[in-house]
Chain A
Amino acid sequence: MTNITISPFNRVEGDLDVEVKYEKNKVVDVKFISRLFRGLEIILRNKDPWDALVITPRVCGICGGSHLYSSASALDMIYNAEVPKNAVKIRNVLAMAETCQNDIRHTYLMFLIDSTNRLYEKYEFYPEILKRWTPLVGSSYKEAIRWSKKYTEIYAIFGGQWPHGSAIIPGGVTTDPYPNEINKALGILKNITSNYLEKVILGGDLDQFLNTVKSVKDLDQWSEDFPESDLGKIWRFGNELGWHKLGFGSGIMLSYGHFPKDEYVKEVDREKDLIFRAGIYIVNKGELVRFDQKNIMEFINKSYYKYTKGDTIGLHPFEGETNPNMSGDKGKYTLTKCFRYNLNGELITPEVGALAMLTVGQNPLILDIVNKLGPSVLARVIARIVRVSIYHKLIEDELEAFEFGKPTYKKPNEEKEGKGYGLVEAPRGALGHWISVKDGKIYNYQMVTPTEINMGPEDPSNNKSHVAKALIGTEVVDVSNPVEVYHIIRSHDACMVCNVH
């Protein structure tokens, strides 16, 4: 048995330590050790509830807009806010623009550069990989640097700035765009579509891609028809490199759903009123079940925290506690809590992210990949590209649906007491904030982040989280250069800073 700790493991929006145990070349155990603590949930206590709109985006530099959206939605619920249609549209555009930015940066800057690993030297297409995806100099890498920031321009037109705008507030948005701003955003989007997405990534027409590629077979065909596209190359090389057989994991997909379709009061029905519905998909049964936030709990038996009622119980975020404690409890090793979902009495360890969102959201191509090949490293990378493509269409729809002259904000009544939660699909997957307000101040603020769900520590029955399951059993070619481990972890777009907040 060999024990290897990768410290620091970078390109996970921050760094973490990964301890991998091998038997010969096979991964037999793994621990994700996050050693960063800022205590934002503690800082939020006793503050004005609106202050969360400024503090929580600072959880994460790459998905701060998702934290903002969660925070504002939780306050919508507490204040019984009416959110006008225009505000819904602008909020959705902000969230999608941020996610596109993330998905491009993640794909090229964080994930694909591992494909230049010397392990792949022997493949005849290795020079092509180097040409495209080498950090700082690869042709597609450079395009990603050039174009990913264009999405932040769309964000800034309505959100003021990215990162860390705070334009989403309970009751709507602070902004009141004129038609010229809507047009400018549409213009930037169009520019990205035709000069980047269609040229570099898809290789062909966006509408054609969305309308015709609905199955594994269609994707094979697309890759043949547009062999020079990055999508085609990723799909073809990925299959040859075995990425489609790597990192299956728990086989349970969870999505909170995202993007209300229309105006609403207080909250929406997460199965009916969202563009992407919420749910839990059990891959081997092909079964989609209902999601209810009541069944979420967090454990700390392996985490450096204390619960007042003992360290083996699980707490729903409304009852959640954040009391860090690093003094010598045996077996504790990380500052990340452990997420579990109680599905009819069984504590499940789902996967979240673009793949889960589109599977639960019934996207035909992604569903077909998952059903035929299973969730894999390759499926996750493809899901991100598909999501960007869908968002390009949706951003356009949302902007076109904006009605100038109608309100973007309706001032809510600031209730002094109450509880609310805000659930979104952040770039990395299901993100939730749970807030209790007492005497007009924040009494308890709990955030449960996608990376915690994917790669938190073990629960009291020693069950591992999804990414650990995806790693265990993996055969790596070279233990001193475990590129398979890199792929599995990074295909999840892990985020350390969200994870620990």
Chain B
Amino acid sequence: MKNLLWLQGGACGGNTLSFLNAESPDILEFFEAYSVKLLWHPSLSLESGNKVKEILNEIVNGKIHLDVLVFEGTVVLGPNGTGKYNLFAGKPMKDWVREIANIADYVVAVGDCASFGGVPASTPNPSESVGLQFRNKEFGGFLGREYRSRKGLPVINVSGCPAHPEWIMTTLSMILKGKINEDSLDEYNRLKIIYSTTTQFGCPRNIYFSYKVGLKEFGHKEGCLYFNLGCKGSFTRSPCNLILWNNQSSKTRVGTPCFGCTEFDFPTFNFFKTEKNKAELPKQLPLGVSRGSYTMLSAIARSAAPNFLLRPLVKKEEKVDWID
């Protein structure tokens, strides 16, 4: 039996709900297959009140061995470093986190909030929130740079707002099988196998991206959302178009721009508009592309764009002013 404890700090609960959407295995099959005992979970457990404090104290004083601590939400430090904006079972949640992180074999930050600070930590950060081991890009966070869990690993991040159930499951199952080491993790301590591609991998609009054909207004299947409508898919590392959401879709598939919710700097705001420079080119370029080569490539690509991409695919419309 492996013991797992799940706690929520400055959270919306979205990662819990996302986890509940897991399909194969679903959460019950997962617990069974990996012999996981869920010690306590805020939304799933029967126990309330003193019983919960008992469980937590037994974990802290070593009576119950904790294999995995999963934390969802930010560590709330406000106001003025007191942590009183997030009291839990009689004391600031931050104190529980510190005590429990010290004795857990592994610590997993689920979601962007726990990983990097996410929405609550965005300007002006009213709750003085931080991630478990990052504050945005900066390594350290609440537990500090040097923190290592009992098994010698930093906090393992599953970023995303929320994280996809398959990303959570994959990370947890690799941990439970003892198959995770520093080499499996990227520079943000996330599983490389999940976070190495960009949202653009598998996006059906990618052909429009290649030929620089942009969409000017929402509500259409055609066109790429990068040029005018704020899509961050070309510089956001996520497998959202490879491992589909709810077995069905993704933001860019339904014409919503990618907001970059797996990244350390989420939320960057101005989500539905592309910021451009004087030459009318997007300020933020695709991952790893230089401005010079981008400018050159754009001009050639646009002039090579096949005709059928410049008009609606199936709709009959007299006036088409929504394709760039």
Q: Which residue numbers of A lie inside 8 Å of B, CB to CB? A: 5-11, 13-15, 17, 35-40, 42-43, 47-48, 50-51, 53-55, 58-62, 64, 105, 109-110, 113-114, 116, 135-136, 142, 145-146, 148-149, 152-153, 155-167, 169, 171-176, 178, 184, 324, 326, 335, 405, 407-409, 411, 486, 497
Contact = CB atoms under 8 A, between A and B. Distances in A.
B206 to A, nearest CB: 16
Contact of A109 (B43, B85, B122, B123): B43
Nearest to B38: A136
A43 B122 contact: yes
Given A13-B13, A51-B269, A157-B248, A167 B254 contact: yes
Contact of B12 (A59, A145, A157): A59
A116 B248 contact: no
Contacts of A61: 11-18, 162
Given A40-B119, A175-B254, A162 B246 contact: yes
B256 A62 contact: no
Contact of B21 (A55, A59, A149): A149
Contacts, number: 243
B124 A43 contact: yes
20 contacts: A7-B89, A10-B43, A14-B11, A15-B42, A39-B120, A50-B272, A51-B269, A51-B271, A61-B13, A105-B20, A109-B44, A136-B44, A146-B26, A153-B248, A156-B245, A157-B249, A160-B250, A163-B17, A175-B256, A176-B221
A165 B256 contact: yes
Interface string B118-156: 111011101101000000000000000000000000000
A235 B311 CA distance: 58
Interface stretch (B46-54, B167-175, B190-198): B46-54
B303 to A, nearest CB: 27
Interface of B: 8, 10-18, 20-23, 26-28, 31, 38, 42-49, 52-53, 74, 76, 78-79, 84-90, 118-120, 122-124, 126-127, 129, 161-162, 217-221, 240, 244-256, 259, 261, 267, 269-273, 314-316
Contact of B76 (A37, A110, A158, A167): A37
Residue in B42, B122, B218, B240 with the greatest tally of chain A CB atoms within 10 Å: B218
Given A53-B271, A54-B271, A160 B47 contact: no
Contacts of A405: 315-316
Main SS class of interface, B? loop
B219 A176 contact: yes
Contacts of A60: 12-14
A55 B246 contact: no
Contacts of A142: 28
B35 to A, nearest CB: 14
A38 B10 contact: yes
A165 B254 CA distance: 10
Contacts of A38: 10, 74, 76, 85, 119-120, 126-127, 129
A39 B271 CA distance: 20
Nearest to B40: A10
Given A35-B85, A37-B127, A14 B42 contact: yes
Given A324-B126, A411-B217, A35 B89 contact: no
Contacts of A152: 21, 246
Contacts of A36: 10, 76, 85-87
A35 B87 contact: yes
B121 to A, nearest CB: 9
Contacts of B78: 37
Contacts of B26: 145-146, 149
Given A54-B271, A156-B245, A163-B18, A42 B48 contact: no
Contact of A43 (B16, B48, B126, B273): B126
Nearest to A135: B46
A188 B74 CA distance: 35
B267 A54 contact: yes
The 3 closest A-B pairs by CB, nearest first: A39-B126, A409-B219, A61-B14
B27 A175 contact: no
